[in-house]
Amino acid sequence: MAIRRYVRYRTRTGPAMGVLKDGQVYRIQGSPFGKHTVAAKGTALSKLRLLEPVEANKVFAVGQNYLSHLGDRPVPSKPEMFYKPKTALVPHGGAIVLPPEARDVHSEGELVLIIGKRLKRAGKEAAAKAIWGVTCGNDVSDRNWQKGAGKDVQWWRAKGCDTFGPLGPVAVRGLDHGNLLLTTRINGEVVQQQRTSDLIFDAATVVSFVSQFVSLEPGDLIYTGTPGNTRPMAPGDVVEVEIEGIGTLRNPVKAL
């Protein structure tokens, strides 16, 4: 499959999606996951206000999926999954807004899978074929609510606050996402860097596992895990997640 890049953006009549080529966006009519047509005339990307690259359905994430991120924890025997709410999503350029109650909020650069077809109790081969494309993500996490003195029973706010799920800037199809360099920067300084080939559970394994218990549908997202050590963010910071072949997701950090 040839590599194709998609963006989703605002229009006067609502969200639209288009194919990105040479700095021009060609609007599509129909579902990006099914039959659609592509306009012959494009609009300059610079004139558009980007949204998350797909309209999300369910949002999953994998914890502890790089050896470099485990520390002294044992290697998991299965993908350790959790949910993020759709309201956590924020596009490229949108602000990560820190609630005043949050004490120790970290960025987590990740490869994100986009599901393109309905899937239930699938094997790895079918799961791999159901991955429509990939994008960049940031699984923003408050460590105090996650595992500190103020931890909750669930990670509902540690990883689910509004804006704690930056996503974008583009969705890419046809890319070999099994061996891409992932780099996270805060204010230009590299704080994470590793290849997606180092995932403990690769993309097909994760998708297959999830589908054994929860039906996957077009538009579902799976954040695949973050490498290495993470660093707290503060208002005024700018966080970038760059993935080879996809691009750079950039978000400023603000206080609520």
For the chain, how many residues are written? 256
- Same domain, residue pair 25 and 120: no
Rounded-to-integer distance, Cα 229 and Cα 226, Å: 9
Out of 50, 71, 91, pick the residue that ends a domain.
Answer: 50
- Same domain, residue pair 178 and 130: yes
Region 137-153: mean pLDDT is: 95
CA atoms within 13 A on the CB side of 92: 23
Q: Over the chain, what is the mean pLDDT?
A: 97
Q: Write down the pLDDT at residue 41.
A: 97
- Same domain, residue pair 65 and 137: yes
| pLDDT greater than 80 at residue 236 | yes
- Same domain, residue pair 84 and 206: yes
Number of domains comprising the chain:
2
> ∠ at Cα 57 (32, 50), nearest 5°?
60
| pLDDT greater than 90 at residue 1 | no
- Same domain, residue pair 21 and 109: no
Neighbours of 235 (CB within 10 A): 13
Out of 12, 30, 50, pick the residue that ends a domain.
Answer: 50
Kindly calculate the radius of gyration of the chain based on its CA atoms and give it in whole angstroms: 17
Domain that holds residue 22: 1-50
- Same domain, residue pair 147 and 26: no
Strand partners, 142: 105
Does residue 219 contact residue 115 with C-beta atoms inside 8 Å? yes
Tens-place pLDDT, residues 45-97: 999 999 999 999 999 999 999 999 888 889 999 999 999 999 999 999 999 99
Q: Assign residue 5 the CATH number of its domain.
A: 2.30.30
- Same domain, residue pair 64 and 13: no
Q: Calculate the alpha carbon distances from 28 to 13, 175, 184 in Å.
A: 14, 20, 31
Does residue 50 contact residue 92 with C-beta atoms inside 8 Å? yes
- Same domain, residue pair 29 and 137: no
Q: Assign residue 142 the CATH number of its domain.
A: 3.90.850.10
3-state SS, one letter per residue, for 3-64: CEEEEEECCCCCCEEEEEECCEEEEEEECCCCCEEECCCCEEHHHCCECCCCCCCCEEEEEC
- Same domain, residue pair 161 and 218: yes
Tens-place pLDDT, residues 20-45: 999 999 999 999 999 999 999 999 99
- Same domain, residue pair 126 and 170: yes
Rounded-to-integer distance, Cα 73 and Cα 88, Å: 27
> Which of 123, 120, 153 shows the shortest CA–CA distance to 220?
120
- Same domain, residue pair 62 and 133: yes
Instruction: Label residue 1 exposed, middle or buried (CB < 10 Å: 0-12, 13-18, 19+).
Output: exposed
DSSP label at residue 210: H
- Is pTM beyond 0.75 here? yes
DSSP string, 67-132: HHHHTTSPPPSS-EEEE--GGGEEETT--EEE-TT---EE--EEEEEEE-S-BSS--HHHHHHHEE
Q: Write down the pLDDT at residue 70.
A: 86
- Same domain, residue pair 2 and 117: no
